[in-house]
Structure 1
Amino acid sequence: MAVNGTVNGTNGAHAHVSRPLRAGIYAPIPTFFLPETEDLDLESFEAHVVRLAKADVWPLLAGSMGEGLHLSHSERQTLIRSARRALDAEGLQDVPIVAGTGTGSTRETVELCNEAAAAGADYTIVITSGYFAGVLASNKPALKAFFTEVADKSPIPVIIYNYPGASGGIDLDSDVITELAVECPNICGVKLTCGNVGKLTRIAAAVSAPDFYSLHPRKNPDAPFLVLGGYADFIYSSTFVNGHGAITGLANVAPYTLAKLYDISVAAVKDTSLQPEAQRLQAIAARGDFTIAKASISGTKYLLEKLYGYGGVPRKPLPPVDPAYAESLWAHPDVQDLVQLERELSGKITH
């Protein structure tokens, strides 16, 4: 079926490809820049999107890790078109693209949703505007009105992005998110970068109820409501409470590891003999996530440079990672354990 009749690809043709939003691992793709000009480095970007998709990790573009706030409208569209072109060229036409469209006002957010759809995005993810957090944080009706209007006007389904650290401390609670899931048929999930496992459990319980979809059908049947963590350190536990995976920056560094962790965690819910191995993988991922997350965007890009030969630095005013810190990050036992596991799972080394 067509995904809301949106335009996909770069030639302006209407693509009739069903790209369902599925449970699993998504990576917020970094935006790579040429060192002298800070122009988009599309060659590295396309290579990275394809690399992760082949590991069964799906792309989220222009999010926090992708420095969406540092991108113009036209650059966001260029990234979407570039990713779609690269995926299609590799026979990965069924891999969906999630695009970040969060910004300051409701009006501009809706504008970005329309532009993302026209460029070929299948889904969008929207963060609460944090500039006026002093007004919005305690105003539940205003917060709900923002997501309701965006979802009503967006031509593609919308994922709620709950990240207090990037939205002036605004932290949507489980009641608000569950109410939006019930009331807005074009909202298809939530990313919980608040790291609140209790909140994830409560929302997952609500949307996993046997009658949820019969009572609250989705506008797009390809877009069920997914409850996704924002870190890699509770993927295993979240599967046992009907969570649906994660959108995590660590998937850029260790895509095979996180894809394997998710798959074996889901299987372990029914087959308890798999639980020790799932716990082992989770422990390695959790330690690596804790260490690498502290290095933020610049540290992740440094690790990509070490692993794949591309990465570079963030756009100014974000600074590059300190060289001494970068070396200690690479040498950290938690990082090296993760790199060793990733190489084993990707088939780059054998025993």
Structure 2
Amino acid sequence: MQALIGTGVALVTPFKKDFSVDVEALKSIVNFQVDNGIDYLVVLGTTAETATLSKDEKELVIKTIVEANKGRLPLVLGVGSNNTQEVVAELKSRDFSDFVAILSVSPYYNKPTQEGIYQHFKAIAEASPIPVILYNVPGRTASNMLPSTIIRLANDFKNVVAVKEAAGDIVQAMKLIQGKPKDFLVISGDDMITLPMILAGGAGVISVIAEGFPKQFSEMVHLGLNKRVEEAYKLHYLLADAIDMIFEQGNPAGIKEVFKSLGLSENTVRLPLVNVDENLANRLYDFTNKISKM
């Protein structure tokens, strides 16, 4: 899965001020990623506010991104739920011809055991017509998918090809990298520890900050993959304050404020999310303006 090495971004869903999907802004955001060195795009992840989109809106987002991308970058589709049967049904009914893989989150709210998580992804692996990227994000799911469970799935199912590891725990990530099968990819889901994970043997990132600052973050990732450590860390520390800021008051409220500063979209989010406060908005504007002049 060479297509998944490097920098992927979890695309936002831009909304107009009336909260409808802003198709033209979404096209602009896709082109901004393509033009600035991003390696692949993730459609309908958490950052897309997928939980607040209707079925028709999800299809509109998919259609818009596929058409705007025009086959230029590989696409990954978010297909996840805490209802295993619901995911399996979608996998058996959807056309995945435009996608290289799915990204599927560990079940949230139910708080399954490790065996329950394994059985959930076993059902998904057996049903999926394309490769599967596991997604471990304990901060949102309330349960941590342990390295032993991930490695078990990777060994048992050839189409389980990667994990987006977003526990924010570099030691856990290193255990994954140490124990994984040779071709299995450990992808960072935490922007702040992306570079350390890459230098430890990770394959790259599925990022939020990278869609706001794609040129700089993607360059950092590729420098890290090429073990050009000093140059990579210069870019890491250049962006570190922004990484903290975009998550300070929730995702994607922070990154949408960056897009507003760049003139790519409104900063509108849907309830229960709210916009960042004026202080953070001003700090993000100042940082974005500084980077854009570099």
Q: How far apart, CA to CA, are the structure 1 residues paired with 2:116 and 2:238?
A: 41
The Cα shift of 1:78 comes to 2.3
Matched, 1:313 2:262: no
Match of 1:217 in 2: none
The Cα shift of 1:118 comes to 4.1
1:1-351 to 2 correspondence within 5 Å?
21-36=3-18, 38-57=19-38, 58-88=40-70, 93-114=71-92, 117-118=95-96, 120-133=98-111, 136=112, 139-167=113-141, 169-207=142-180, 212=182, 225-267=184-226, 269=227, 274-296=228-250, 297-331=252-286, 335=287, 340-341=290-291, 343-344=293-294
Q: Secondary structure at the match of 2:9?
A: strand
Q: Secondary structure at the match of 2:221?
A: helix
Q: How far apart, CA to CA, are the structure 2 residues paired with 1:124 and 1:70?
A: 20
CA offsets per residue over residues 282-330 of structure 1, 9 Å max, x none? Answer: 1122232122221321121111101134133112222222234322443
Unaligned runs of 5+ in 2: none
The Cα shift of 1:343 comes to 4.4
Unaligned runs of 5+ in 1: 1-18, 214-224, 345-351
The Cα shift of 1:119 comes to 7.0
* More divergent stretch after superposition (172-181 vs 197-206): 197-206
Q: How far apart, CA to CA, are the structure 1 residues paired with 2:146 and 2:4?
A: 24
Specify whether residues 156 and 73 from structure 1 end up closer, same or farther in structure 2 by C-alpha distance, changes over 3 A only: farther
Q: Secondary structure at the match of 2:8?
A: strand
Specify whether residues 64 and 132 from structure 1 end up closer, same or farther in structure 2 by C-alpha distance, changes over 3 A only: same
Relative to the length of structure 2, the TM-score reads 0.91
Specify whether residues 50 and 114 from structure 1 end up closer, same or farther in structure 2 by C-alpha distance, changes over 3 A only: farther
Relative to the length of structure 1, the TM-score reads 0.77
Specify whether residues 239 and 39 from structure 1 end up closer, same or farther in structure 2 by C-alpha distance, changes over 3 A only: same
Q: How far apart, CA to CA, are the structure 2 residues paired with 1:118 and 1:276?
A: 40
The Cα shift of 1:99 comes to 1.2
Q: Secondary structure at the match of 1:203?
A: helix
Higher relative contact order (CA 8 A, sep 6+): 2
Q: Which amino acid counterpart does residue 151 of structure 1 have in structure 2?
A: A
Q: How far apart, CA to CA, are the structure 2 residues paired with 1:114 and 1:39?
A: 29
Residue 80 of structure 1 contacts residue 97 of structure 1 at CA under 8 Å; is this kept in 2?
no
Match of 1:13 in 2: none
Corresponding pairs, count:
292
Q: Which one has the largest radius of gyration?
A: 1
Q: Secondary structure at the match of 2:48?
A: coil
Specify whether residues 116 and 229 from structure 1 end up closer, same or farther in structure 2 by C-alpha distance, changes over 3 A only: farther
Q: How far apart, CA to CA, are the structure 2 residues paired with 1:42 and 1:160?
A: 29
Residue 151 of structure 1 contacts residue 187 of structure 1 at CA under 8 Å; is this kept in 2?
yes
CA offsets per residue over residues 100-141 of structure 1, 9 Å max, x none? Answer: 1112301111233345544733311111222222xx1xx221
Q: How far apart, CA to CA, are the structure 2 residues paired with 1:50 and 1:342?
A: 17
Q: Secondary structure at the match of 1:233?
A: helix
Identity %: 22
Q: Secondary structure at the match of 1:199?
A: helix
CA offsets per residue over residues 167-208 of structure 1, 9 Å max, x none? Answer: 1x111111111111111111121111111112222222333x
Residue 162 of structure 1 contacts residue 191 of structure 1 at CA under 8 Å; is this kept in 2?
yes
Residue 16 of structure 2 contacts residue 266 of structure 2 at CA under 8 Å; is this kept in 1?
no
Q: Which amino acid counterpart does residue 244 of structure 1 have in structure 2?
A: A
